[in-house]
Amino acid sequence: MRLNRRKNRDSRDRRRNPSGRDPEPPSEGPPKGREERRRGLARAVRSVRSDDAEKRPLAGDEGAKRPAARAERRERRREVRLPAVGSRRDGGEAQERDVLPRAARSVAADALGIGREILRWPARIWMAVAEALGSAILVACRRAVIPALRLIRRWLVSALTWGERAVTPARGLAVAAVAATIALGGSQFGDYRAVEVGTHDYAKVESVAPAPQVDQAMPRSAHGIWVFAIAVACLFVIVLAIWRNWRLARLLLFGGVAVVAISLFVDRPEGLRLGTVGEAYSGAHAILLGPFWVQLFAGATLAIVGPLLAARLRGERTPARRRSPGRAGEEASAKRAPTLRPGVGT
């Protein structure tokens, strides 16, 4: 077996190297010699290819077109590989011209980016603070404000239901009449007239320093205690009209008309008189103060509310009276004992 293996190895070696000589390593010559050899081989290959192309028969016009197309391709490749010197110069000048605009663009873009970041930071901080405040306000509204609003709403609804049941037109008119009567009585304890001195001198500074007032007087100095007595009488009339007889509310009309007449025909002329003050001071001017106007409008209110109150009280009490006889009859019939007839129920 070993002999056969050796023979096989010798046969393989002989096939690989038929001359029986060992292959010599390629001699490495100088680089110039290598380049010359490569150029020579390239020329030989080109010449062989050109001879083969001439020997091959070309059909029709295709044989004439191929060499021309090859020559055009070679020229294009040379133009692409070796640009002209003038074109290089023009390209360099164009690049130098484009350097400044490019630099300016890059600087502008950087400045724009920096400004954008500068504006973004405050906006981000503000949005963070606003978000925190919004969340806090939302929590406060959910825990405190909304329950308080619900409680207020319940109170208002309960007050409205109570008002719908308790407050009637007659009661509302009665409250208005009582308020007018109280205002009428209170107006008798204030100054209803005065005299301003030097109004021309204080005309420019009237809003800051008004003219001084002298010779002030109360309404009782003009008409005595009559208006106060009318106010007290009207108060008693209102109470009795609500409690006992609705017809008494009509007397408020006469009391209000009397107050208006006293205010217009007695108090107003007396209040606008200057008297000795006009002779003592220059530029004196008599004016009517607030209590006079309260007295006048309170009397007008009583004159209007009186008939309306009487009408409403009458309208509320009439249905009650109509219902009362029926109820009394029903109660009487219910109290009567049932009569028994002979032979029935026994």
Q: What are the residues whose beta carbons fall under 8 Å from the beta carbon of 180, sequence distance 6 or more?
A: 298, 301, 302, 305
Mean pLDDT of the region 234-241: 92
Q: Residue 58 has what pLDDT? A: 47
**Per-residue pLDDT at 176 exceeds 90:** yes
CA distance 257 to 161: 37
Q: Residue 122 has what pLDDT? A: 83
To the nearest 10°, report the CA torsion of 206, 209, 212, 213.
70
Mean pLDDT of the region 170-189: 92
More confident residue, 3 or 100: 100
Do residues 236 and 304 lie in contact, with contact meaning Cβ atoms separated by under 8 Å?
no
Q: Write out pLDDT tens, residues 17-55.
A: 544 454 444 444 455 677 777 777 777 777 766 665 555
Q: What are the residues whose beta carbons fall under 8 Å from the beta carbon of 66, sequence distance 6 or more?
A: 58
Confidence label for 222 from pLDDT (cuts 50, 70 and 90): confident
Q: Long-range contact list for 313-317, CB < 8 A, 24+ apart?
A: 313/170, 313/241, 313/242, 313/246, 313/249, 314/246, 315/170, 316/168, 316/170, 317/246
Mean pLDDT of the region 311-327: 67
CA distance 234 to 237: 5
Confidence label for 320 from pLDDT (cuts 50, 70 and 90): low
Q: What percent of the chain has pLDDT over 90?
A: 23
CA distance 192 to 215: 11
Q: Residue 238 has what pLDDT? A: 93
Mean pLDDT of the region 229-250: 91
Q: What are the residues whose beta carbons fall under 8 Å from the beta carbon of 75, sequence distance 6 or more?
A: none
Average pLDDT score, the chain: 75
Q: Write out pLDDT tens, residues 48-106.
A: 666 655 555 544 445 555 667 777 777 766 654 544 444 455 555 666 667 778 888 88
Task: Quickly count: other Cβ atoms within 10 Å of residue 121's Cβ.
Answer: 9
Q: Write out pLDDT tens, residues 115-148.
A: 888 888 888 888 889 889 989 998 988 888 899 9
To the nearest 10°, report the CA torsion of 113, 115, 117, 123.
-140
Confidence label for 152 from pLDDT (cuts 50, 70 and 90): very high
Mean pLDDT of the region 236-264: 92
**Per-residue pLDDT at 275 exceeds 70:** yes
**Per-residue pLDDT at 245 exceeds 70:** yes
Confidence label for 243 from pLDDT (cuts 50, 70 and 90): confident
